[in-house]
Structure 1
Amino acid sequence: MNNAKTPGIVAIVTLGLTLSAILGSWLQERSWSQDLLAQAGSIMHSVVAQMPQNSNPNIKINPQILSAQTRFSLKLFQAISQQNQGKNVLISPTSIALALSMTYNGAVGETQQAMAKAMELQGITLADLNRANADLKAVLQNPDPKVQLAIANSLWARQDFTLKPNFIQLNRQFYGAEVTNLNFTDANAVNRINGWVSQNTRGKITQIVDRIQPDDVLFLINAIYFKGAWSQPFDPKATQNKPFYRAQGDNRPVPMMSLQEDLSYLSTEQFQAVSLPYGDKKRMRMDIFLPHKSSNLTSFTKTLTVQNWQNWLKQFSTREVALQFPRFKVEYGTELKPVLSSLGMGVAFTHQANFANLSPQPTLISQVKHKTFVEVNEEGTEAAAATSVGIMVTSARIPVEMVVDRPFFYAIRDEQTGAILFMGTMTNP
């Protein structure tokens, strides 16, 4: 690459929104932290990816790529959580993977190899990756009458910035990408981009770009929106304020929801876990892992390997569970560049970056911004970012008690594909 010329700046923004039934008014009173995402105003290229209207359960997704995405999800979460011990963390691995995959279509040589290492894509062809991502989007769309799931991708390119035709074609074909060329010096350019963001997050995020810098040439944005009603809702009348014991040793009162139902449950020497299904089909689930009092969340996250994750999910069985679980909401934002660099793709952020398949002009990635929000309440979960369970028939069972009154890990996943839509740690509801 010719390093004599100042490279154009590409910014990647990923958004995960998990919103609950009581969330609407709360969000209308607040704007998303503009300072966090406005920093992403240094790269623009927009792809609007609208998924098909209905999920197609007959599509078979390449298992090699699903496995790679699970490995990437878990190692990325481990790296982020290690840097944020004692804090609430929430990421959407699917959102991040899709945004990076679109960018990967432009990478060449050492840059492509570095991204492949970070994303666990060694030995996987670009064609197979793109096809699997297209299939995943199709399968995830509208998975249940009581679950809404939408994915949108947008690329906004500076008017005088040249994109390779094949880069545009691949992202349009496999990611539903609508490429918009925009005059970045126009005073209305920021409003155009923020208008798309607001439209594709159903008004939940109204501003993502504050200003456009002179070197900005491309903004790549991915958003995932999820809203699911519990298959077995909590009774709001049973919710009571109870103490939540934080890692610092103190406690604070939180609204603790209560539910006693037959649920998928797992208990090991390290933790208790329960899987709460969404909707009629129970395909989407929130898995809650509560480390025993003799352990802690930091020790648990270190065990989040692919082998352990897959083994744990296989070991759940149906039990009557008396569950107490806090009602909570959390907003999280992070710059992923340091973590992705530690995972091996640092060259993509330097002047040695080679995105020759993206543009004939030298370019590098300056930022990878990630923003998420989740709220969980008695009715379910709303977010913007299938194995059957054996039923045990017994009599006079004593329900197992699970009181989630201390830091815990949770994930929202699709049981059919194994895709992890969201994963987080809650230390302070």
Structure 2
Amino acid sequence: MSRLTDMRRLAVACSALAILLAACGETPPDRVVQHLSMKLSDSSTNFGISLVDRLLAEPGAGNVFVSPLSASLMLSMAASAASGDTQAAMLETLGLDPSVDPSGEARQTIERLAQSDDGAQLELAQAVWVKQGLPLSQSYVAKLRNDYRAQMANLDFRSPGAPGVVNRWVDGATHHKITDLVDSFDPSVVGYLVNATYFHALWRIEFDSRDPGQFHTFAGTTVRVPMMRRHENVTEVSTPDYVAALLPYKGGRFSAVVVLPRQTLSPADFSKFLTSATWRQVLGYMHGATGSSLGAPCKYWDTGVPNVWTHCDGSLEMPKVKLDYMKDLTQTLIAMGMPMQAPVPAFCGECALTQVVQKTYLEIDEKGTTAAAATGGAVVTALVTPIVVDR
């Protein structure tokens, strides 16, 4: 039985689950190619893992829970307002081909993920607020409304009530899981782009409640936390480096994947462990164990790799999880190659994207998973600094 009882390993699970909820569904590989190009699937994985790795490598990093999907959709809206080398650099950071139309890729993503499902609820919402009179390109406005399905409204960003307007929209779009995304707006802000993502799904087979168990913290202390256990129907892949568990949700479109390294790793070490190749390997083994669709019943399967095996009736014991996370992603994205303070002329001639923040929520219990994310990006215009003769 796999047990998640070490805080340093729980950070691993939360990070891996964050990527899964953001980028992976139950669609078999052949249908992924049909509905959404595989390059987009790979780009989501690459961008998400790169983002998580950089956050985990930062000094003092603990549990990290980010939504690459939410960040990607917001940044895609910004990239659609850029052009030339700026747009190419933004798309490359997102893992997309610079020759690809970002709004077209986003439309396919939204259409695919918005499909109805009796067992899971996934909602994607975009909104754009602009200063009254800002000369947005009409073709850009059409992309926002038609491809991104964005709601658009004017907003006086210098008004004390402006942050509340954005926060109330985010609160509603995330079913009250994300509040206070914005504290205030800089006087130079003339536009604000937001994606809000909400996910709620019930396990295909519920966990059983357990008495509180021992849990080891980063500081080396031991605490007692509520635990839960599944005794059967856990698809498990075991390798010399890690053990991974597949936990399908009702409806068959989505699953959670928990990856547990064999060795206890610090967040910084985990950032080196979790690579795109490792993640693709995990999903490849899972697809092999379930006959390509992660929602299909598990079957005993010979991986053909020494010391790697799958088990269909594994058990998993882990803590219940409830956490909030907020991060200014600006410097992290810059380090990944995202151009900031570069022109986005579809907004206005002197406009630029300058700050990106994300706030997330995650709750995992015996019945299922609830996750939410909101990513906001500020667009500013150059301010003319007055000359003051004071000396």
What is the TM-score with the length of structure 2 in the denominator? Answer: 0.76
Rounded Cα–Cα distance in structure 1 between residues aligned with 2:281 and 2:313: 22
Q: How far apart are 1:338 and its partner, in Å?
A: 0.9
Q: Pick from 288, 313, 336 the counterpart of residue 329 of structure 2.
A: 336
CA contact (8 A) 2:54 2:271 kept: no
1:83 is matched with 58
Q: Pick from 135, 143, 162 the counterpart of residue 162 of structure 1.
A: 135
Answering whether residue 219 of structure 2 is matched by residue 231 of structure 1, we say no
2:220 is matched with 249
For the residue of structure 2 that corresponds to 1:163, the secondary structure is coil
Q: Pick from 107, 114, 119 the counterpart of residue 146 of structure 1.
A: 119
CA contact (8 A) 1:159 1:181 kept: yes
Rounded Cα–Cα distance in structure 2 between residues aligned with 1:84 and 1:144: 40
CA spacing shift, 1:294–1:146, aligned 2, 3 Å: closer
CA contact (8 A) 1:354 1:363 kept: yes
Rounded Cα–Cα distance in structure 2 between residues aligned with 1:145 and 1:173: 26
For the residue of structure 2 that corresponds to 1:166, the secondary structure is helix
CA contact (8 A) 1:159 1:184 kept: no
1:355 is matched with 344
List gaps (5 residues or longer) in structure 1. 1-17, 19-56, 386-429
Q: Pairwise mapping of residues 47-62 of structure 1 onto structure 2 (< 5 A)?
A: 60-62=35-37
CA contact (8 A) 2:243 2:261 kept: yes
Rounded Cα–Cα distance in structure 2 between residues aligned with 1:202 and 1:265: 33
Deviations along 1:69-124, one digit per CA (max 9) or x if unpaired, are: 22111111111111155501000000000000000011123322321231122344
CA RMSD, Structure 1 to Structure 2 (Å): 2.2
Name the aligned partner's letter for residue 36 of structure 2: I
Report percent identity of matched pairs. 30
CA spacing shift, 1:382–1:252, aligned 2, 3 Å: same
Name the aligned partner's letter for residue 230 of structure 1: W
For the residue of structure 2 that corresponds to 1:91, the secondary structure is coil
1:98 is matched with 73
Name the aligned partner's letter for residue 357 of structure 2: K
Answering whether residue 300 of structure 2 is matched by residue 312 of structure 1, we say no
List gaps (5 residues or longer) in structure 2. 1-16, 18-30, 290-297, 299-311, 374-391
Rounded Cα–Cα distance in structure 1 between residues aligned with 2:343 and 2:61: 37
Name the aligned partner's letter for residue 105 of structure 1: S
Q: How far apart are 1:185 and its partner, in Å?
A: 4.4
Q: How far apart are 1:331 and its partner, in Å?
A: 0.7
2:229 is matched with 258
Q: Pick from 147, 152, 176 the counterpart of residue 149 of structure 2.
A: 176
Name the aligned partner's letter for residue 261 of structure 1: E
CA spacing shift, 1:329–1:358, aligned 2, 3 Å: same
CA spacing shift, 1:141–1:289, aligned 2, 3 Å: same
CA contact (8 A) 1:110 1:354 kept: no
For the residue of structure 2 that corresponds to 1:276, the secondary structure is strand
CA contact (8 A) 1:227 1:381 kept: yes
Deviations along 1:123-172, one digit per CA (max 9) or x if unpaired, are: 4422xx32222122122125521211101111000113221111111111
Rounded Cα–Cα distance in structure 2 between residues aligned with 1:377 and 1:131: 37
Aligned length in residues: 320
Rounded Cα–Cα distance in structure 1 between residues aligned with 2:273 and 2:179: 38
Q: How far apart are 1:300 and its partner, in Å?
A: 3.6
Q: Pick from 193, 200, 205 the counterpart of residue 220 of structure 1.
A: 193
Rounded Cα–Cα distance in structure 2 between residues aligned with 1:131 and 1:378: 38
CA spacing shift, 1:176–1:262, aligned 2, 3 Å: same
Q: How far apart are 1:201 and its partner, in Å?
A: 2.0
Name the aligned partner's letter for residue 312 of structure 1: V
What is the TM-score with the length of structure 1 in the denominator? Answer: 0.70
Answering whether residue 318 of structure 2 is matched by residue 325 of structure 1, we say yes
Q: Pairwise mapping of residues 259-278 of structure 1 onto structure 2 (< 5 A)?
A: 259-278=230-249
1:419 is matched with none
Rounded Cα–Cα distance in structure 1 between residues aligned with 2:237 and 2:268: 20
CA spacing shift, 1:296–1:189, aligned 2, 3 Å: closer
Q: How far apart are 1:295 and its partner, in Å?
A: 5.3
Rounded Cα–Cα distance in structure 1 between residues aligned with 2:131 and 2:346: 17
CA spacing shift, 1:327–1:184, aligned 2, 3 Å: same
CA contact (8 A) 1:336 1:370 kept: yes
Q: Pick from 64, 78, 91 the counterpart of residue 39 of structure 2.
A: 64
Rounded Cα–Cα distance in structure 2 between residues aligned with 1:187 and 1:91: 29
Name the aligned partner's letter for residue 67 of structure 2: S
